[in-house]
């Protein structure tokens, strides 16, 4: 029998409230987080011919298509910025957001067998998707900085601003928004499976409702005010203004998207924690 002097290494307790994040427990499981990150990176490109080169192929091909279709054929304004750099900057940030959203939106269904066998902080899994997406983002950023450095030397219209110091913050905002909506969707899809079909369609529509292929400045006053209700628009425009010197940027807009991210992420954690307690009954 266990005496009063005996103690357990790990004590599992029920959650006392919905907004319950044990940061210490997450930190203690950091090795597991990195294992999931390594799994995500390795398994995606395992047994492929080009391997990590695919990180560069996607943005390059997408940028070329956008230049031809939207830049040359449709003649959409790029705020005086070289088309290649304008589209590449939008694609870089948008891809990270969509990667975080799509990868975290299937957390419960995709990991149901794992969750049913062993205990660990469930939030580790969507966090690992955000971190692995950040690694991909970092690699693709090398492509952007290469093109950006060349354009700085060749094109006088490309000039960075002091907002460049906010670059890490823009990345955090994109990750936070993607994670927030991802864990909300994964919580809802445990009961309503058809939502995952809506997600792919919705992400595509959201891209066209965000200034990825066009600047906010080309819109009319009413359309611009509606567009800026989209928090992603502020991040994309702020990123472009920071590096390219062109884009819609306000401190009030940055404060808005920051509060939106915090509130949405808090709501997502509440829904995630609630779903975690009984999702095995519905998956």
Cα 233-235-240 angle, rounded to 5 deg: 95
In whole angstroms, what is the distance from residue 189 CA to residue 101 CA? 13
- Residue 213 domain-assigned (yes or no): yes
Helix (H) or strand (E) holding 192: none
Q: Which of 123, 241, 233 is nearest to 173 (CA)?
A: 233
Residue 250 in any domain: the answer is yes
Separation CA 51–CA 45 (nearest Å)? 5
Domain that holds residue 99: 51-281
254 found inside a domain: yes
* Burial of 169: CB neighbours in 10 Å, binned 0-12, 13-18, 19+: middle
Q: Indicate whether 9 belongs to any domain.
A: no
Give the count of domains, the chain. 1
Please state, as a whole number, how many other Cβ atoms lie within 10 Å of the Cβ of residue 57: 10
Any domain includes 180: yes
- Domain for residue 130, yes or no? yes
pLDDT by residue for the chain (283 residues), tens only, comes to 445 555 666 655 655 555 566 667 777 778 888 888 888 777 776 666 666 777 888 889 999 999 999 988 989 988 888 899 999 999 999 999 998 998 888 887 777 777 777 777 788 888 988 999 898 899 899 999 999 998 888 888 888 889 999 999 999 999 999 999 999 988 888 777 777 778 888 888 899 989 999 999 888 888 888 888 899 999 999 999 999 888 888 889 999 999 999 999 999 988 888 887 766 555 5
Using CA atoms, how far apart are residues 206 and 178, in angstroms rounded to an integer? Answer: 12
pTM of the model: 0.85
């Amino acid at each position: 029998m266990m005496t009063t002097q005996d103690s357990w290494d790990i004590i599992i307790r029920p959650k006392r409230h919905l907004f319950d994040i044990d940061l210490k427990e997450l930190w203690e499981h950091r090795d597991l987080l990195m294992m999931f990150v390594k799994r995500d990176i390795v398994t995606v490109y395992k047994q492929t011919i080009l391997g990590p080169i695919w990180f560069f192929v996607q943005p390059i091909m997408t940028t070329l298509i956008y230049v031809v279709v939207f830049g040359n054929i449709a003649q959409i304004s790029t705020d005086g910025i070289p088309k290649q750099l304008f589209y590449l900057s939008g694609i870089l940030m948008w891809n990270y957001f969509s990667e975080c959203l799509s990868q975290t939106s299937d957390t419960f269904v995709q990991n149901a067998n794992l969750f049913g066998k062993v205990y660990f902080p469930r939030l580790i899994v969507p966090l690992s998707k955000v971190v692995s997406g950040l690694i991909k983002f970092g690699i693709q950023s090398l492509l952007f900085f290469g093109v950006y450095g060349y354009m700085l030397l060749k094109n006088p219209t490309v000039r960075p601003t002091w907002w460049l110091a906010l670059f890490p913050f823009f990345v955090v905002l994109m990750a936070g928004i993607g994670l927030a909506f991802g864990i909300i969707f994964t919580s809802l899809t445990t009961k309503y499976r058809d939502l995952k079909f809506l997600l792919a369609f919705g992400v595509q529509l959201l891209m066209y409702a965000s200034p990825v292929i066009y600047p906010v400045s080309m819109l009319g006053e009413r359309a611009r005010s509606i567009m800026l209700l989209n928090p992603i628009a502020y991040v994309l425009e702020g990123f472009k203004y920071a590096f390219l010197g062109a884009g819609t940027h306000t401190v009030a807009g940055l404060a808005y998207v920051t509060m939106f991210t915090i509130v949405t992420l808090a709501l997502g954690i509440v829904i995630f924690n609630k779903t975690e307690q009984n999702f095995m009954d519905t998956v």
